[in-house]
Structure 1
Amino acid sequence: MVEEKGEGIFVIPLSRVYWGGSRRSRGRRAIKLIRDFVARHFGARRVILDESVNEYILYRKIEKPPRKIIVKVFKIDEGIYKATLASLVKVSK
Structure 2
Amino acid sequence: MSKTVPDNQEETSIKEQKGEESEEEEDLEEIVEERVYTVPLRDAWRTPRQRRAPRAVRILKSFIQRHMKPESIVISNEVNEHIWRRGIQKPPRKVRVRALKDRDGKVLVRLAEGD
* TM-score tier after normalising by the smaller chain length: 0.7 to 0.9
Question: Identity of counterpart residues, as a percentage?
Answer: 31
> Structure 2, unaligned stretches of length 5 or more?
1-31
* TM-score normalised to structure 2 length: 0.68
Give structure 1 stretches of 5+ with no counterpart.
Answer: 89-93
For the pair shown, the structure with the greater C-alpha radius of gyration is 2
Alignment coverage as a number of residue pairs: 83
Paired position in structure 2 for 1:33: 59
In structure 2, give the amino acid aligned to 1:7. Answer: E
Verify the 8 A CA contact 2:44 2:56 in the aligned structure 1: yes
Task: Calculate the TM-score normalised by the size of structure 1.
Answer: 0.83
Q: Which aligned runs of 4 or more in structure 1 are off by greater than 2 angstroms?
A: none
Superposed CA RMSD in Å reads 1.4
Higher relative contact order (CA 8 A, sep 6+): 1
1:18 matched to 2:28:
no
CA drift of 1:78 comes to: 1.8
Match of 1:54 in 2: 80
